[in-house]
Amino acid sequence: MYDHYSGALYGVIFRIVQSKEYTEEIIQDVFVKIWNSVHQYDSQKGRFYTWMINIARNTAIDYLKSKGFQNELKNQSIPDFVYNSTALSTSNNTSDFIGFNNVLESLETDKQELINMAYYQGYTQNEISEQLKIPLGTVKTKMRNALMKLRDLLKDYQ
């Protein structure tokens, strides 16, 4: 299982935490969670791969929000943890093992931003509303539209 899925899971986690060290720590936790909760997987609700991606994503976001991680950030110098989208986009981005960036880039910019904030930065819809200064209902509608458009693009991509 590790040989088949570790690359894709690593990419999802790395895109969220943006640190090789933290990603390696988190991926170990993810596979332990998968192993311990495999009996909870329900094939009627979705594919096994999607279930594992959600575990990886949620574990990475939980890690970012943990007090231990927040304390580590306080002890680092600023260049070590500031999000640098330019460096990420120009570097050899190892987080895109399944070509998802190509699909995501075909969305409109506002839809990309919503998906990025919700799924890679861990913002709730309330936090997105506050951050973008738009009503919560608008965020919900735009997020739903973005996900529907993304689903259609992924169908075409296969």
Q: Which of 42, 75, 108 is the last residue of a domain?
A: 75
Same domain, 103 and 71: no
> 147-156 pLDDT, tens per residue?
888 788 777 6
Question: Left, alpha or beta for 133 (phi > 0: left; psi -120 to 50: alpha)?
Answer: left
Provide mean pLDDT across the span 87-103.
53
- Locate 88 and state its tokens: 């990420």
Asked whether residue 105 is domain-assigned, the answer is: yes
pLDDT at 47: 87
User: Is the pLDDT at 66 greater than 80, yes or no?
Assistant: no
| pLDDT confidence bin for 94, thresholds 50/70/90 | very low
**Residue 41 included in any domain:** yes
What is the per-residue pLDDT across 8-25, written as a single tens digit (0 to 9) for each?
899 888 888 888 888 999
| DSSP label of 75 | T
Same domain? 55 vs 118: no
Say which residue, 153 or 4, is predicted with more confidence: 4
Residue at token pair 């060290």: 21
Q: Is residue 40 part of a domain?
A: yes
Q: Is 81 contained in some domain? A: no
pLDDT at 67: 60
Establish if 94 belongs to a structural domain.
no
Distance CA 60, CA 122 (A): 9
Q: Is the pLDDT of residue 82 over 60?
A: no
Q: Residue 68: which pLDDT band, with cuts at 50, 70 and 90? A: low
Q: Is residue 4 included in any domain, yes or no? A: yes
**pLDDT at 98 (0 to 100):** 55
Residue 32: give its domain's CATH number: 1.10.1740.10
Domain that holds residue 132: 99-156
91 belongs to a structural domain: no
Cα 101 to Cα 105: distance, rounded to the nearest angstrom: 6
Q: pTM for the complete prediction?
A: 0.54
User: Do 71 and 128 belong to one domain?
Assistant: no
Q: 47 with 14, same domain?
A: yes
Whether 96 has a pLDDT exceeding 50, the answer reads: no
CATH number of the domain to which 119 belongs: 1.10.10.10
Instruction: Examine residue 89 and state whether it is found in any structural domain, yes or no.
Output: no
- Structural domains of the chain, count: 2
**Four-residue CA torsion sign, 117, 122, 125, 126:** negative
For the segment 37-60, the average pLDDT, to the nearest whole number, is 90
